[in-house]
């Protein structure tokens, strides 16, 4: 996974990323040796359930959390090794869109000021040019210029998320991390925001890490999907083959549990029911993190953690002792 994509330097290269949090109850091992890369102009989806560590990975990538171990390289610069001043200068290159625009936008600032803030903070461009740039961004995200003088509370949830997308893109980043950007929105609004992210990505060419618990949304926007379970990546698969080629027992369970909005199909599907809950990241089980709930676990799964190895489909990687490399199915 640490190789370049088609010989080109990737937009993001994460190697051996580990993040521990110290709490009163002990050390929470939120992310445990995660490696992946995102090519230039690629959208990679990151899925998993609560407690899988997917949001922590996103936050480590943009250095909102300094990693405990491992490296994060964006556009060739190892940002995880940089001191604050130098890191700050590079921050224009990567950015984040949060789940809830109601809490991630300053309620006392106008939309115009919110969108322009990255330019102000990083001293980009002449301040006289900022209004023109803000207007360009509002056009880009489909908001009328008149929204510029409004405050976040005057806007709908979908409009607010457009504002946070405009803010994220104004400094022309090469990497955007979107953490559940549509989860707080109604379905009719969700579709427009998913389309907006797809279209902007196609037009502007940034790389994107799209974090979501919603498999269907990830399949819709992402080229590849990373599946996480209890701090580790268990599978990487092209999004169009997620349904048919999922090889890890957890991915298969996840795919089978997500309901499809079609009564005939939904009621005739084979479902894999998982017993129990995701274990506590305070004390992850030895071996494969999934073995306690895995319907096919063997002795080896309880003893050794499986490595992430190539699967049968092109580009597929699977971390499972019971899936022999290159011979899925």
Binding residues (CB under 8 A) for other proteins: these are 49-50, 142, 156, 158, 186-196, 198-199, 213-217, 219-221, 239-240, 243, 253-267, 271, 273-278
DSSP per position, 39-95: -TT-EEEEE--TTSSHHHHHHHHTTSS--SEEEEEETTEEGGG--HHHHHHHGGGEE
Q: How far is the CB of 244 from other proteins (least distance, A)?
A: 8
Nearest approach in angstroms of CB 141 to other proteins is 9
Residue 68 or 252 having the CB closest to other proteins: 252
- CA-based nearest residue to 31, from 15, 2, 54, 61: 54
Judged by beta carbon, residue 110 or residue 192, the one nearer other proteins is 192
Residues 185, 165: contact at Cβ < 8 Å?
no
Among residues 196 and 317, whose Cβ is nearest to other proteins?
196
Helix (H, G, I), strand (E, B) or coil at 233: strand
CB of 111 to other proteins, least distance (A): 17
Short-list 11, 50, 58, 10, CA closest to 34: 58
State the nearest-atom distance from the C-beta of 153 to other proteins, in Å: 13
Q: Which is nearer to other proteins, 41 or 69 (CB)?
A: 41
E strands, the chain, in order: 12-23, 26-38, 43-47, 69-74, 77-78, 94-97, 175-179, 207-212, 224-229, 232-238, 309-310, 317-318
Least Å distance between CB 189 and other proteins? 6
Residues in Cβ contact with 39 at an 8 Å cutoff, skipping those fewer than 6 apart: 5, 6, 8, 10, 11, 207
Pick the closer one to other proteins by CB: 116 or 253.
253
d(CA 107, CA 154) in angstroms, rounded, equals: 10
For residue 240, give both structure tokens: 């169009």
Q: Residue 185 CB, nearest distance to other proteins (Å)? A: 9
Q: Could you tell me the smallest distance in angstroms from the CB atom of residue 98 to other proteins?
A: 19
The residue (of 130 and 232) whose beta carbon lies closer to other proteins is 232
**Would you call 148 helix, strand, or coil by DSSP?**
helix
Rank residues 11 and 155 by Cβ distance to other proteins and give the closer one: 155
């Amino acid at each position: 996974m640490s190789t370049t994509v088609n010989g080109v330097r990737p937009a993001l290269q994460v190697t051996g990323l580990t993040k521990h949090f110290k709490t009163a109850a002990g050390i929470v091992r939120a992310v445990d040796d995660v490696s992946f890369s995102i090519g230039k102009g690629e959208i990679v989806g990151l899925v998993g359930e609560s407690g899988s560590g997917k949001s922590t990975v996103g936050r480590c990538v943009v250095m909102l959390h300094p990693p405990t171990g491992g490296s994060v390289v964006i556009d060739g610069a190892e940002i995880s090794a940089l001191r604050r001043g130098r890191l700050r200068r590079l921050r224009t290159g990567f950015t984040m869109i949060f789940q809830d625009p109601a809490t991630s936008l300053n309620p006392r600032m106008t939309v115009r000021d919110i969108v322009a803030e990255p330019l102000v903070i990083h001293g980009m461009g002449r301040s006289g040019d900022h209004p023109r740039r803000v207007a360009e961004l509002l056009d880009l995200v489909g908001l009328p210029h008149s929204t510029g003088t409004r405050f976040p509370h005057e806007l709908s949830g979908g409009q607010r998320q457009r504002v946070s997308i405009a803010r994220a893109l104004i400094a022309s980043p090469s990497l955007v991390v979107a953490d559940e950007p549509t989860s707080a929105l109604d379905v009719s609004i969700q579709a427009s925001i998913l389309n907006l992210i797809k279209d902007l990505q196609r037009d502007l060419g940034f790389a994107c890490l799209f974090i979501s618990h919603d498999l269907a949304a990830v399949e819709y926007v992402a080229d590849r999907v990373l599946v996480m379970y209890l701090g580790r990546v268990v599978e990487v698969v092209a999004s169009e083959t997620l349904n048919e080629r999922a090889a890890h027992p957890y991915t298969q369970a996840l795919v089978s549990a997500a309901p499809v909005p079609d009564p005939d199909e939904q009621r005739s599907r084979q479902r894999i029911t998982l017993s129990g809950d995701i274990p506590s990241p305070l004390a992850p089980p030895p071996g494969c993190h999934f073995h306690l709930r895995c319907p096919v676990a063997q002795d080896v799964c309880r003893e050794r953690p499986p490595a992430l190895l190539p699967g049968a489909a092109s580009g597929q990687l699977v971390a499972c002792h019971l899936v022999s490399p290159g011979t899925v199915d």
